[in-house]
Structure 1
Amino acid sequence: MSRDDPFAEPSDTEKTVIQINPGGRRDAPAAPAQPAAPAAAPQARPQPATPSAPSLDLGRFATGLNALNAAAAPLFALVGRIRNRAQHPNPDALRENVVREIQAFERRAVQAGFDQRTIQIARYALCATIDDVVLNTPWGGRSDWTVRSMVGTFHKETVGGDRFYDLLARLEKEPANNRELLEFIYVCLTLGFEGRLRVEDRGQEKHLAVREGLARLIRAHRGPRETSLSPHWQGAKVPHRPLSAWVPLWAILGITVGVLALTWFVLDWMLARDTDRLNGQISALYSNAVVELDHRVGIERRDLAVQPV
């Protein structure tokens, strides 16, 4: 995990801290404690991490939207993690790691094909954002970061981030040619850079207005965004082929006649079966019955006929 994250966290183990701080203060006592042969192993492990970081991070953080933002993804992630932290165990070591990671960002941006002007502007915005966030934390204001800021280290400025909004205003004049930089600065504003607006009256409202205006400008020059969940969902266009194209007509007629004949035979058999059963039930009604004539009824009628009135 330490090789993926160049920044120390309080929850990291001691081994992780050693790996993410190559050449730090812990290497001095470690050298005399180990023999010559074993001492080469810890030194060989951190040194390749710096040159190999650009290609590794480009593959992991490339999003397909903005390669400049992808190159700065580790530092953007750092800003999001430390902006609300009340304390940090080692701000000096964090500063050294940030310096190395900014240099790695420049290499990744060069690999992505950006010119030197774009890289310098993006680096300034990135340094100003990190300084602004760190110096407005309780631990950042008490550290050496106040005299060894990122803007002072890379751009030799004493007032950190003073040109941020001036650069933004110049870039907004040609949005079509500076879309990547405008998106980069928008991320910096979203992550917490406020600069001089932090101490101005109604600075929060002004900051929000700047960010919303920049978002509208980016949307206007980025073009319509694809709203379909899957833009290539349509199937292949194949001309309609009737059933006769696959099966001959005589075969269709033969199958139809066969089905009709089979249906007729089945219905005839069912009708004959039900008829035989019904005839059997009718015959059973009279097979055991004996017909008897009651002659007494006739005799009584004759007797009634001869009696006198």
Structure 2
Amino acid sequence: MYTNNDDEVTQRNFGEVKQEQVREITSESLFQKVSKQEYMFGSNNLMRHASEIFATHYQVINHSIDFSVDKLKMILSDGLTKFTIRCQQDGIGDNLLKSAKYILCAFIDEAILATEYGQNIHWSQQSMLGSNFNESWGGETFFKIRLFCLDNISEYIEVFELIYICLCLGFKGQFSSKTNGKLMLDRLKRESYDVICQYRDLHDDASIAKHWQTDYEPKAPIKYKHTFSIFFGVILAILLVIYRSFIFYKSSRTTCFERY
């Protein structure tokens, strides 16, 4: 299904995005929305149905989980089962559902394996990808699915939005080992944001804008014209004072001379 060349991900030119222009959505804010069933994409059923997976992700990356490997696997398996049932009840197609499940499995696996806890419980041998797709790592296929969604955006917009959120929450995949992987990921997020806005006909004041924000504000350029005007104005004022003082001094000398 996903036949895109691996290199296509890195060959595309997404335009320049400086690293300081990116502020990723925090897991805490997402968890709060998960708890309240308030998702960033109100019309996205996949996001709404994956609440258990995102809630567990929040616990994992905040080191607030100490389950045994069996309990963690049970929680995630139960969450994925509920996700599947909810999607099927909503009439979501098998191919779309399979893609979404793969994304969620790759997402949660990477988060767990990035922690000391995940290493201690040997999660690589118990991973969700291994259990559901017989794969040990999804760092490349994740981005192949993204490209597939991009090429079939009208049908796969919800999966594409799901991928965007996973990227904003820190998924790196194959880019984790690349020299400029951070910049590449920032570009992918920027492109994803633009695609979603265009498809959803959203603008900067829409809800999606809250999940791609920037702290970067270019410094106002120095207005040399005004600076020079002020500078020469001050110089002119000083010269005027000197000139008036000189006239006054000369006038005083003339008056004194006429007296004698």
Q: Is this a same-fold pair by TM over 0.5? A: yes
After superposition, residues 188-227 of structure 1 pair within 5 angstroms as 188-224=166-202
CA offsets 1:150-192 (integer angstroms, 9 cap, x no match): 1111011133333001111111112222211111111111222
Preserved CA contact (<8 Å) 1:86 1:137: no
Q: Secondary structure in 1 aligned to 2:174? A: helix
Q: Does 1:123 align with 2:101?
A: yes
Q: How many residues align?
A: 172
> What's the counterpart of residue 90 of structure 1?
68
Tell me the distance in 1 between the aligned counterparts of 2:158 and 2:171. Answer: 18
Residues 207, 86 of structure 1: CA spacing in aligned structure 2 closer, same or farther, 3 A cutoff?
farther
Residues 154, 224 of structure 1: CA spacing in aligned structure 2 closer, same or farther, 3 A cutoff?
same
Preserved CA contact (<8 Å) 1:131 1:150: yes
Query: Structure 1: which 5+ runs fail to align?
Result: 1-57, 229-309
Residues 221, 84 of structure 1: CA spacing in aligned structure 2 closer, same or farther, 3 A cutoff?
same
Amino acid at match of 1:215: Y
**Deviation at residue 131 of structure 1 after TM alignment:** 0.4
Query: Which has the greater radius of gyration?
Result: 1
After superposition, residues 226-265 of structure 1 pair within 5 angstroms as none
Query: Which residue, 130, 137, 140 being the options, matches 1:159?
Result: 137
- Compute the TM-score of the two structures, normalised by the length of structure 2: 0.60
CA offsets 1:64-116 (integer angstroms, 9 cap, x no match): 42111100022112212311328624233112211111111100111122111
Preserved CA contact (<8 Å) 1:62 1:71: no
Amino acid at match of 1:110: Q
Tell me the distance in 1 between the aligned counterparts of 2:62 and 2:175. Answer: 19
Amino acid at match of 1:151: L
Q: Which runs of 4+ in 1 moved over 6 A?
A: none
Preserved CA contact (<8 Å) 1:129 1:161: no
> What's the counterpart of residue 27 of structure 1?
none
- Compute the TM-score of the two structures, normalised by the length of structure 1: 0.51
Identity of aligned residues (%): 26
> What's the counterpart of residue 8 of structure 1?
none
CA offsets 1:262-297 (integer angstroms, 9 cap, x no match): xxxxxxxxxxxxxxxxxxxxxxxxxxxxxxxxxxxx
Residues 185, 86 of structure 1: CA spacing in aligned structure 2 closer, same or farther, 3 A cutoff?
same
> What's the counterpart of residue 45 of structure 1?
none
CA offsets 1:99-147 (integer angstroms, 9 cap, x no match): 1111111001111221111110000000000000000001101213111
Amino acid at match of 1:144: H
CA offsets 1:223-270 (integer angstroms, 9 cap, x no match): 135969xxxxxxxxxxxxxxxxxxxxxxxxxxxxxxxxxxxxxxxxxx
Preserved CA contact (<8 Å) 2:59 2:65: no
> What's the counterpart of residue 37 of structure 2?
61
Residues 140, 225 of structure 1: CA spacing in aligned structure 2 closer, same or farther, 3 A cutoff?
same
> What's the counterpart of residue 157 of structure 2?
179
Residues 226, 199 of structure 1: CA spacing in aligned structure 2 closer, same or farther, 3 A cutoff?
closer
Indicate the structure whose relative CO is greater, using CA pairs within 8 Å and at least 6 residues apart: 2
Preserved CA contact (<8 Å) 2:61 2:115: yes
Tell me the distance in 1 between the aligned counterparts of 2:64 and 2:75. Answer: 20
More helix by share: 2
Tell me the distance in 1 between the aligned counterparts of 2:162 and 2:173. Answer: 16
Tell me the distance in 2 between the aligned counterparts of 1:198 and 1:227. Answer: 32
Which of 169-178 and 122-131 deviates more? 169-178
Tell me the distance in 2 between the aligned counterparts of 1:126 and 1:215. Answer: 19
Tell me the distance in 2 between the aligned counterparts of 1:137 and 1:157. Answer: 20
Tell me the distance in 1 between the aligned counterparts of 2:151 and 2:187. Answer: 17
Tell me the distance in 1 between the aligned counterparts of 2:67 and 2:152. Answer: 43
Tell me the distance in 2 between the aligned counterparts of 1:189 and 1:124. Answer: 14
Amino acid at match of 2:142: F
